[in-house]
């Protein structure tokens, strides 16, 4: 079982923020990544649709013979926090580890959460933080244009469209004087330079992709399931791989051409 891959999925490119970290901290693991590029974005869809998509994504990964499944997607994690029973496999999500780190680093107890509309209306991050720290103030903001920006390659902090969109969405959090911001959607770390520029050096950004990778490593270690002989990552998408290959290649810093396979997710 140790030698089986870690299965990771997201609606598109966002989960790569977890994959990138995972490759660094767990270089001897096999990773199978699925990005549901044919159906992205998830964040403006109904709960029923998001759960149906998440189950199909997870069933595809299970069919590939993985040892655990990571929903590297804030939206799925918020709407379907526990699919392990219905899937019959170890399943982890992004909300818990991300909140844990935010609670640890905030000094003023004023935390901003940004995410998709589905994530923000579920209040998943806020509920978890206030369960533990009812005295903390949590300010939530959905940023529905961030995912389409990232999926279309608009991540450069100097790009006028990126700068203005970030400024517009973050204004309420700036006004609320938060000292910590949870990037509650795994796509958002790709915009972290622009977000940092807008919020200033004194605000700490919590990267949900990175926290998910660290938590996955901890879980595998605890369960004695770490691999020491894996050989890297394989990538699958549900639409033409071209766009994914270009942007993923830039983000992961390697040539991804002809390394991404298209599958029919409706079969699962």
- Which CB atom, from 181 or from 230, has the smaller least distance to ligand DGL? 181
Radius of gyration (C-alpha) of the chain in whole angstroms:
17
Query: Which residues in the 130-189 window bind ligand DGL by CB under 6 A?
Result: 147, 185-187
Spatial CA neighbour of 11 closest among 62, 52, 54, 69: 54
Encoded tokens for 134:
């009812």
Binding status of residue 119 toward ligand DGL by CB under 6 A: yes
Binding status of residue 74 toward ligand DGL by CB under 6 A: yes
Binding status of residue 14 toward ligand DGL by CB under 6 A: yes
Query: Which residues in the 23-42 window bind ligand DGL by CB under 6 A?
Result: 40-42
Binding span for ligand DGL by CB under 6 A among 68-76, 153-161, 166-174, 231-239: 68-76
Binding status of residue 92 toward ligand DGL by CB under 6 A: no
Strands (E), the chain: 6-10, 30-35, 68-71, 90-92, 110-115, 137-142, 180-183, 204-207, 232-237, 260-262
Count Cα neighbours of 247 within 13 Å in the Cβ-side half-sphere.
22
Binding status of residue 230 toward ligand DGL by CB under 6 A: no
Q: Give the CA-trace dihedral at 164, 169, 175, 179, to 10 degrees.
A: -100
Binding status of residue 116 toward ligand DGL by CB under 6 A: yes
- Which CB atom, from 106 or from 119, has the smaller least distance to ligand DGL? 119
List residues near ligand DGL by CB under 6 A: 10-12, 14, 40-43, 73-75, 116, 119, 147, 185-187
């Amino acid at each position: 079982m140790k030698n089986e891959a870690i299965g990771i999925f997201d609606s598109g490119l966002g989960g790569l923020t977890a994959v990138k970290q995972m490759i660094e901290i767990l270089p001897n693991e096999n990773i199978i990544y699925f990005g549901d590029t044919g159906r992205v974005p998830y964040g403006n869809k109904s709960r029923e649709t998001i759960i149906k998509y998440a189950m199909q994504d997870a069933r595809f990964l299970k069919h590939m013979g993985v040892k655990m499944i990571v929903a590297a997607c804030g939206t799925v994690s918020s709407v379907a926090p526990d699919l392990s029973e219905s899937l019959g496999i170890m399943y982890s999500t992004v909300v818990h580890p991300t909140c844990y780190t935010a609670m640890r680093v905030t000094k003023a107890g004023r935390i901003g959460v940004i995410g998709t509309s589905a994530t923000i209306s579920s209040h998943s991050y806020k509920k978890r933080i206030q369960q533990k720290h009812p005295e903390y103030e949590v300010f939530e903001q959905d940023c529905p244009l961030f995912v389409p920006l990232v999926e279309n390659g608009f991540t450069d902090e100097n790009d006028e469209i990126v700068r203005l969109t970030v400024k517009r969405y973050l204004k309420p959090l700036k006004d609320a004087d938060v000292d910590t911001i949870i990037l509650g959607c795994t796509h958002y770390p790709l915009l972290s330079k622009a977000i940092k520029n807008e919020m200033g050096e004194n605000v700490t950004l919590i990267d949900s992709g990175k926290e998910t990778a660290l938590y996955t490593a901890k879980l595998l270690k605890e369960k004695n399931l770490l691999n020491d002989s894996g050989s890297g990552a394989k990538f699958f998408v549900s639409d033409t791989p071209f766009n994914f290959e270009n942007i993923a290649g830039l983000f992961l810093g390697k040539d991804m051409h002809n390394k991404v396979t298209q599958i029919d997710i409706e079969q699962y």
